[in-house]
Structure 1
Amino acid sequence: MSRFTILLGGDLVRTPRLDRQIAGTRIIAADAGISHAATLGLTPELWVGDFDSVPDHLPAALQAVPTETFPREKDKTDGELAVDIAMRQGATELILVGAFGGPRADHAFLHLTLALRLAEGGFPTLLSSGAQEGVPLLPGPASGFDYESGTLFSVLGFSDLSSLTVEGAKWPLTRVDVAFGSSLTISNEVRGRLHIALEKGRAMLIAHPQP
């Protein structure tokens, strides 16, 4: 099993939880995501992109990271190109760090849909800013999550959802159909051990974990 962390250009808060999640993973930075390497105390094995968003005053160790340069006019974002490279190098699991927020809302939304596509293709993918996490939810058996009681979470549907079950929550659900665009599953809280199951549809669990 080969786990890769992709450093993207969105928001980042370093937390002990995030440190644990990325420990031992291979690191690839996508353009401005290189700035997160300094925050996290990491040296990526590769830095990719068109380099139109290079941060100022990078430490010498990061300036020396091997690069793979792409043209500005291209069919994929720097982040997706970094994911492609990780997959070619044998990635079986991905953590997209800096996936939320940042100056480009379109990129942040793309990271959500990209993670869903990767999960559908058999590549478990976690999105994180340190303060927030995103986990794709696809049809199948119930998934369990290690969030502490009191953790705020939402289930964000990317389609109509059929037979959604949420256990271990302040507001549990049992085999509920949720229309696309409904706010029914926004702003819940963990109570005990959170389990979520979905019969049909695609969604994203967005959680605000304890550090």
Structure 2
Amino acid sequence: MSTFTILLGGDLIRTPRLDRQVEGSRVIAADAGIGHAQMLGLVPELWVGDFDSVPADLPADLAAVPRQTFPAEKDKTDGELAIAAALERGATRLVLAGAFGGKRADHAFLHLALGLRLAEAGMDVFLTSGAQEGVPLLPGRAGFDYADGTLFSILGFSELSGLTVTGAKWPLDKVEVAFGSSLTISNEVKFGKTGGRLDIALGHGRALLLAHPYPLPES
């Protein structure tokens, strides 16, 4: 498996879990995402974009990263171009770091939708901000290693049918979920006395698991 970490321009915090997830991967930065490389102690092999949002005072090793430059007026975002570069280099797994938050809600939405599209094409995709993690959910069954008490939501990108959730405070058994329903928002991993893990099965539709492996900040 060839894992590429794509450094995007959204929010990102460094955690031990994130360090493990990107360890040993090849790295490509999308424009302002180069700023995350410094925080994570990574040096990308490629820096992609129109370079309209380059962080100031980059260290010499990051400023010297080879660039693939595109015009500001283009048909794809810098993030999508960085992903395309990783696929050209043989990526079989993508970690989209900095996929959430940031100043552009439209870009954050695109990252979620793009993650689903890539998963439908057979790519192993993982989205993260360090504090939040996203995994595309397609028809089938998947298991997750989150700790007891982890907050999670299932974001439906279509009507869902046959959705089963076990290992949760509010389990579901082959339910139908209308598009736009809040039924699957704010659940919690709950193993019970017998232990176990969070398991999700989906009969039809497309969704994204959004989990918070770390406690949410106090409001």
TM-score range with shorter-chain normalisation?
A: over 0.9
TM-score normalised by length of structure 2 = 0.95
- Which residue matches 2:104? 104
Q: Which residue of 1 aligns with 2:28?
A: 28
Give the CA deviation at 1:112: 0.1
Q: Which residues of 2 match residues 20-99 of structure 1 at below 5 A?
A: 20-99=20-99
1:186 offset after TM fit, Å? 0.1
Please state how far the C-alpha of 1:210 moved relative to its aligned partner: 3.3
Instruction: Please give the alpha-carbon distance, in whole angstroms, between the structure 2 residues aligned to 1:167 and 1:53.
Output: 43
Instruction: Quote the RMSD (CA, aligned, Å).
Output: 0.8
More strand by share: 1
Work out whether residues 148 and 210 of structure 1, in 8 Å CA contact, stay in contact via their aligned partners in 2: no
Aligned-pair CA distance for 1:166? 0.4
The runs of 5 or more residues in structure 1 that have no matched partner are none
Consecutive unaligned residues in structure 2, runs of 5 or more: 192-196
Which of 203, 206, 213 is the aligned partner of 1:209?
213
Contact 1:13–1:130 under 8 Å retained in 2: yes
Which amino acid in 1 is paired with 2:203?
E
Structure 1's consecutive aligned runs of 4 or more residues displaced over 4 angstroms after TM superposition are none
TM-score (norm 1): 0.98
1:121-160 equivalences in 2 (<5 Å): 121-140=121-140, 142-160=141-159
Secondary structure of 2:143's counterpart equals strand
2:169 counterpart of 1:170: yes
Q: Residue 114 of structure 1: CA displacement? A: 0.2
Kindly, what percent of the aligned residue pairs are identical? Answer: 74
**What letter is aligned with 1:144?**
G
